[in-house]
A and B are shown apart, each in its own frame.
Chain A
Amino acid sequence: MSIQYYIILCLTLFSIGVVGVLTRRNAIIVFMCIELMLNAVNLLLVAFSKMYHGAALQSAANTTAGIDAQIFVFFIMVVAAAEVSVGLAIIVMMYRNTHSVDINFLNRLKN
């Protein structure tokens, strides 16, 4: 499978996430679209790692080239999990204060 198909798939998923961030007003859905963009990037990293690994296998049979990208994806997932817990706590706090998750109400930091 050519790498270009993977790049185009991930770009499409990423752009769908961008559309969601730009057009929706519910803060939770905006947050979910950010998760979607993160996942598109993860998939692209894994595809690139397999591309690199396949090229390295031609010269050395027992290589682990390309494993760094998969470790990197693992750490992205770790950071995303931490980010979601804090972000949802902030959204819950804002909902408690304003009784709304509409981002147009949340456009100023004071009050």
Chain B
Amino acid sequence: MSTVDVLFYLLSAFAIVSATMVLISKNPIHSVLWLILVFFAISGHYILLNAQFLAIVNIIVYAGAIMVLFLFVIMLMNIKKDAEPQKQLLVKLTGVVAAGSLLTLLIAVVKQTTQIQDKQVLLKEGSIGLIHPLGQALFTDYVIPFEISSVLFLSAMVGAVIIGKK
């Protein structure tokens, strides 16, 4: 087992454990902190795949901006730890069983698909995740979606301000 394999399994276990902790922690602030750990694990996966630009963007945008926004809102609301009434056990059990069946079904499909049986993912190598090729593609082939996304941000900002002011 090479170093890359060990890193893959470590990061995967870290991501899954942290994601489970997001679900089972009672305090919303703890959930946010665990979700930040999930995002760091996923950024580690991006680095392992040599997608360095996305790794940095994931940390800056998700772990930095979005999660701080969540924390800010939770602290603004002053929700007490035990204020959240729990769903009935039956509803919880139904949710877990439904999602577990979905997972089992999809894994069975993946295991039986012959087209991806021997496909390998290129780790550590390949230059498409670096800033130079991505920037070149973004500002030549994808320049119109890039500009449209700035309009999207402007409308989201206006919408958030209008909703927040009411």
Contact = CB atoms under 8 A, between A and B. Distances in A.
A15 B99 CA distance: 6
Nearest to B149: A78
Interface in A78-111: 78-86, 88-93, 95, 101-102
A70 B35 contact: no
B149 to A, nearest CB: 5
Interface in A11-67: 11-13, 15-20, 22-26, 28-29, 31-33, 35-36, 39, 42-43, 46-47, 49-51, 53-55, 57, 64-67
A32 B102 CA distance: 20
B42 A43 contact: yes
Given A29-B31, A32-B70, A77 B61 contact: yes
A43 B95 contact: no
B95 A19 contact: yes
Interface string B120-160: 11110110110001100110001001000100110111011
A4 to B, nearest CB: 6
B54 A73 contact: yes
A48 B137 CA distance: 18
Contact of B121 (A1, A15, A67, A79): A1
Contact of B8 (A5, A24, A65): A5
Contacts, number: 231
Contact of B116 (A3, A74, A75, A81): A3
B134 A71 contact: yes
Nearest to A4: B110
What range describes how many residues of A lie at the interface?
35 or more
Given A26-B84, A92-B76, A16 B16 contact: yes
5 contacts: A1-B8, A51-B120, A83-B156, A88-B69, A93-B166
Nearest 6 Cβ contacts at the A-B interface:
A22-B95, A54-B122, A82-B156, A23-B95, A15-B103, A18-B99
Interface of B: 4-5, 8, 12, 15-16, 19-20, 22-23, 28, 31-32, 35, 38-39, 42, 45-46, 49-51, 53-54, 57-58, 61-62, 65-66, 69-70, 73-74, 76-77, 79, 84-87, 91-92, 94-96, 98-100, 102-103, 106-107, 110-111, 116-123, 125-126, 128-129, 133-134, 137-138, 142, 145, 149, 152-153, 155-157, 159-161, 163-164, 166
Given A13-B16, A70-B134, A71-B134, 16 more contacts: A3-B119, A4-B116, A28-B28, A32-B35, A35-B35, A46-B51, A50-B121, A50-B122, A71-B142, A73-B54, A75-B149, A78-B153, A80-B66, A82-B156, A84-B70, A90-B163
